[in-house]
Amino acid sequence: MSAISASNQDMKRSEPTDRKRSWLFYIKRGLFALIVAVGIMVVFGVVAWSRGLVNYPPLTGQYPVGKVEYHLLDESRPEIFSEAPDDLRELMATIYYPADVPEGASPAPFTEGALKTVTADVLRLPGFILDTIRSQSYTNVGIVSNTAPFPVLIFSPGMGFMPLVYTPTLEEVASQGYIVVALSHPYSTGATIFPDGRVIRSSAEFGSRALSQITAKATNEDEFAAVVSPISDVWASDIRFTLDELERLESEDPFLSGHLDLSRVGVFGHSMGGGAAVEALHDDPRFLAAINMDGTLVGDSAWEGVNRPIMLMLSDEQASMTTDMLIQAGAAVDNAEFIVTRGKMTVQTVYENGAPGYLFVLDGSKHVTYTTGSALASALAFGAPADAFGSIPAGRANHIINAYIAAFFDQYLKDKSSPLLDSTSPDYPEVTLKVHAN
């Protein structure tokens, strides 16, 4: 830890001097890749509207999937992202679960009502585009009964992203026999909608703008952590609190009671949510395993690692990033050196301290490959341009990511060994997998 800190302190401080070049840097780094993805989704959505409904990939697990929302209020924790002194931290959770679906039932719309209105506004899409999309989950259906309780996974999205944009992955994992709890982090998620109609948008201080700005100018760990760590700490606390609430709901809630196996709990997330997932694993022994999907590692876990099963899923974009690439994209030299050095050091630390640690790199992928835009492009039978989602075909990317998530949690939560985790698989030549056993 001291050597790392010393190395970071030796890096020179430098502020980007050209705002236009800094903006280009943000785009190329993928911090605003969602803007590009949304533009592509508009084009694809118009075509879909002219053709009919767009269906997400069919589920491959043995269960159909239901979904339900819960409002969670943490009365012990003040809301530090709000200016109101009496605010308490509250969350919205969308729970995907193996469902008992009546014959003849139809899957729910991708989004509707207030959520549709807000989602269209956040993504800058006309509402009719969202009407063309059909997911694979059902509402107002029960959880599969006459089975043992299901293992539980908590999911944290990327900064500025709504959980809705991970629908294909969340539904697929639930179909494999998991109860998946997807969180919305108020003031950081694109928009959080509460049952009473309140809508909390991502703020400049605690949302994607804050993250992109500090990433584009930080030259040492102190600068970076001063902005990122407080946000990540709140997110990791959100994850731990959600598990507290699930323990309460398992005993009190008539819908969930008897269905949650809280002795088998994992956590995963994308981008900032992936870093928060690793930090939650580090801080709370109730979590048995974690997956970080191309996320920045932060907090104590970034420099100490976690002595439990962990998989780091890197995009090709992230794995191949060099200082020269960032400088060519407009980054200041000291900033580029810090970002690349920090990324390599933290990934190596977490990977080597996992028990075991897995390092997964998906050839031809980008940061936004993990979101729904990739699956949407696939559903429309078009290949997404490489500068948006990467060069790997969209449907193939989604299939591979979901397969490895299920294999990892099957092995460490269900004790079902998977050959996918032994080494790079001939079935998935696009994946490079390294395993470090402690």
* Range of weakest confidence among 78-92, 225-239, 363-377: 363-377
Task: Calculate mean pLDDT across residues 127-132.
Answer: 74
pLDDT of residue 320: 94
Residue 47 DSSP one-character state: H
Structure tokens given for 67: 């979904």
Locate the domains of the chain by residue range. Answer: 2-436
pLDDT of residue 373: 56
Contacts of 45 (CB under 8 A, 6+ apart): 54, 125, 129, 130, 132, 133, 376
Task: Calculate mean pLDDT across residues 297-320.
Answer: 96
Give residue-wise pLDDT tens across range 248-293: 999 999 999 999 999 999 999 999 999 999 999 999 999 999 999 9
pLDDT of residue 40: 53
298 near 269, Cβ under 8 Å? no
Beta bridge partners of 297: none
pLDDT of residue 24: 47
pLDDT of residue 364: 92
Q: Which CATH superfamily is domain 2-436 in?
A: Alpha/Beta hydrolase fold, catalytic domain (3.40.50.1820)
8 near 342, Cβ under 8 Å? yes
Residue type, 163: P
Between 113 and 420, the higher pLDDT residue: 420
Task: Provide the residue count of the chain.
Answer: 438
pLDDT above 50: residue 26: no
* Range of weakest confidence among 16-25, 217-226, 421-430: 16-25
pLDDT of residue 177: 98
pLDDT of residue 186: 96
Strand ranges in 249-300 using DSSP code E only, listed in sequence order: 260-270, 289-293
- Tokens 């585009």 locate to 129
With pLDDT > 70 as the criterion, what percentage of the chain qualifies?
A: 83
pLDDT above 70: residue 6: no
pLDDT of residue 61: 95
pLDDT above 80: residue 233: yes
Between 31 and 68, the higher pLDDT residue: 68
Where residue 394 falls among pLDDT bands split at 50, 70, 90? confident
pLDDT above 50: residue 123: yes
Where residue 51 falls among pLDDT bands split at 50, 70, 90? very low
Contacts of 332 (CB under 8 A, 6+ apart): 14, 15, 16, 17, 217, 219
Residue 79 to residue 88: CA distance in whole angstroms: 5
pLDDT above 90: residue 222: yes
Where residue 12 falls among pLDDT bands split at 50, 70, 90? very low
pLDDT above 60: residue 377: no
Alpha helices, H only, 253-321? 272-283, 299-304, 316-319
- Cβ burial of 380 (10 Å; 0-12, 13-18, 19+) is buried
Where residue 381 falls among pLDDT bands split at 50, 70, 90? very low
Structure tokens given for 274: 């992936």
Give residue-wise pLDDT tens across range 320-329: 999 999 999 8
Where residue 391 falls among pLDDT bands split at 50, 70, 90? confident
Give residue-wise pLDDT tens across range 316-375: 999 999 999 999 989 999 999 999 999 999 999 999 999 999 999 999 999 888 886 555
* Range of weakest confidence among 38-47, 180-189, 293-302, 377-386: 377-386
pLDDT of residue 387: 58
Task: Calculate mean pLDDT across residues 125-131.
Answer: 73
pLDDT of residue 376: 57
- Beta strands 179-184 and 150-156 are parallel
- Residue 120 exposure: Cα atoms within 13 Å on the Cβ side: 18
Task: Calculate mean pLDDT across residues 425-429.
Answer: 92
Residue type, 364: G
Average pLDDT, the chain: 85
